[in-house]
Amino acid sequence: LLWGLIQAGEKNIPESITPITTTYPSLHRDYGVAVRGGVSAFLITLIVCALWILSGWRMGFMMAQMGAVTACILTALDNPVPVLRIFIWGSLVSAGLVFVYAFGIFPHITAFWELALVLLPMFLFSVSMMANPSLMPVGMVLGINTMMGLNLRNSYNMDAVTYFDSSFAMILGVLVSLIVIYFVRAMSPETSATRILALHSKAMRQALVLPYGTQFRIHLRSMLDRIGVLNTKMVQSSEIRSSINAALVECSAIVDLSRLQELAG
């Protein structure tokens, strides 16, 4: 719009410009993966809550909480299972840290500044790891699980039964999430890339019959967004990598074909 006004010699530029779409339906969406993610989250929540309610386990809410959280925060990944394995190991380490703090350090704490001082090294270490993408899952699980396990209150109140119950519940919640996601949601980068390439081929066929105009540009934006998602896939197959590289060339070609159709018509 702005370039058209400049070419026409217009000096009055509009104060605001309404975007072509306000709900952005033209960006890439893989509804099949979204449904599988939703089904896995539903099953995980159902299983952990059923175990909690049917068993009458007092600390079962920790299992339900960890299961529901891990079912949702990693669903954007193609295969969340490796990260969930890190979560399990991190939960074991955080359980050890909670034991050291709860039974070795906290009984000697008598002032708030002492509490802040002893907690500083652990949380500074875990937060620092979050700044590194490769260490972020470790730092996140150490920081969150340790704080949840400590269950800080106005006064010191910790017993061994509560400690072991809460630690086991957190680990079990992540384990249930890992098993369900492995069978329902997880897929390899190659599978994900193949799905997106199939959508790209379908979009190419649709673009061939679209006149060069607003609708074509909206459609082209979805194709380019899909290519951006494709370039994040760490695929090992050389054939799929070649198809990903060709997708951008095909997008450029479809623009030229659409312009030629416009000129010919």
CB distance 230 to 244 below 8 Å:
yes
Domain ranges of the chain: 32-184, 189-264
Q: Which CATH architecture has domain 189-264?
A: Up-down Bundle (1.20)
Q: Which of 75, 72, 73, 45 is nearest to 61 (CA)?
A: 45
Q: Which two tokens stand for residue 50?
A: 């059923």
Q: How distant, in Å, are the alpha carbons of 75, 76, 172, 183, 190 from that of 222?
A: 22, 18, 40, 30, 21
Q: pLDDT per position in the chain (265 positions), as tens?
A: 677 777 777 777 666 665 555 555 567 788 888 899 999 999 999 999 999 999 999 889 989 988 998 888 888 788 889 889 988 998 899 999 999 998 889 888 888 899 899 999 988 998 898 888 888 888 888 888 888 888 787 777 777 888 888 889 989 999 999 999 999 988 888 988 999 999 999 989 888 888 887 788 888 888 888 888 888 888 888 888 888 888 888 888 888 888 887 777 6
Q: Which of 144, 150, 90, 143 is nearest to 115 (CA)?
A: 150
Q: Which of 214, 140, 165, 170 is nearest to 57 (CA)?
A: 165
The Cα–Cα gap between 235 and 243 comes to 11
Cα diameter, the chain? 85
The Cα–Cα gap between 150 and 127 comes to 17
pTM metric for this prediction: 0.75
